[in-house]
Chain A
Amino acid sequence: MATTNATLDLSSDTTDSALAFSNTTALNTAGTTTGVNTMTSVTKVLSSTNQVDLITAASVSTTHAYVYINNPSEDETLYFNVTIGNAGAGSATDTEEIGRLYAGDFMWMPWDVDDDICVTPSTADDMTIEYMVFS
């Protein structure tokens, strides 16, 4: 099995005493110390404000995965609405919004591979989105 590590370094001076911490974790299959062995890496250009089924549950064969999504835009006003919910739902009534990924933002989360992860671009102009899935 493969060995894959994820490290998050966070530093902030929003408080008078600066905050900084770092954590590294090995990406393992559910509940084990066995490393994940599958990786998907995709870059897409989206050209409408329609909701897109970015990562489908059907595309992953396990029940535990790790997801990285990145908005590489350099225009701070452009964002993706990231939602999770029923496959291909396309409706705000049956998906839960996680958050907005503005230009330069990334997200990293475990995923139970139960519902699809969808995104909605904030503009119909070309917007690039990158993602990786480890499972």
Chain B
Amino acid sequence: MATTATLTLASTDIAGDPVSVSKVATLTKAGSTNDLDQSSGLNRVHLRSTTEKVLLAANAEGNNLAAKVYLINKSEDASLYITVKINAQTTGKLYGGDFMFIPWSQTDTSASIKIAASNWTSSTGDIPVEYALFHEDTDFLTNA
């Protein structure tokens, strides 16, 4: 049972010579070589307001356990973005087409991952967002 993530970065002209970086990670439990064995599957939601939403509710049980979050803004409009926060800390903006893949510590129940379609208006239309969580033993069902 394995989950692998491969990131490839490539450019022919951002430097004098072509740049190509490829990294493969097999997702494992914290501090071990055992594979992560639980996932949320791939989810899709549509944001239709500027209201901040909790995408993934932190579970303090998950502190010091391994969890990885994948998140993508599937809008085809490059100007439409979602603001991503952990707790109250903004980490960045995902513009149309952008994705992120991060470890998630869930240091406490405040460390939820929150998103907001900050520049959404009624004329921009929905902003589709897809996400997946891969994790170990934490019982996320308690947050349902």
Contact = CB atoms under 8 A, between A and B. Distances in A.
Contacts of B100: 108-110
Interface string A83-99: 01100000000011111
A70 to B, nearest CB: 6
B89 A115 contact: yes
Nearest to B82: A110
A114 B101 CA distance: 20
A23 B5 contact: no
Contacts of B11: 2-5, 39
B92 A31 contact: no
Interface string B24-42: 0111101111001111011
Contacts of A112: 90-93
B3 A12 contact: yes
A70 B13 CA distance: 23
B95 interface: yes
Contacts of A23: 72, 97, 99
Contacts of B87: 96
Given A23-B99, A132-B21, A10 B132 contact: yes
Interface of B: 1-15, 19, 21, 23, 25-28, 30-33, 36-39, 41-42, 64, 66-68, 70, 72, 78-79, 81, 84, 86-95, 97-105, 107, 111, 132, 134
Contacts of A82: 103
Contact of B90 (A26, A35, A114): A114
Interface of A: 2-15, 19, 21, 23, 25-26, 28, 30-33, 35-39, 64-66, 68, 70, 76-77, 79, 81-82, 84-85, 95-102, 104-112, 114-115, 132, 134
A25 B107 contact: no
Contacts of A15: 39, 41
Contacts of A9: 4-6, 8
Contacts of A68: 7, 9, 21
Nearest to B74: A23
Given A8-B70, A96-B111, A97-B111, A32 B79 contact: yes
Given A6-B8, A64-B92, A98-B86, A104 B67 contact: no
30 contacts: A5-B8, A6-B7, A6-B8, A7-B8, A8-B6, A8-B8, A9-B6, A10-B5, A11-B3, A14-B1, A15-B41, A23-B72, A25-B97, A30-B81, A30-B93, A35-B14, A68-B7, A70-B23, A99-B67, A99-B105, A100-B103, A102-B30, A102-B103, A106-B25, A108-B100, A109-B84, A111-B92, A112-B90, A112-B92, A134-B14
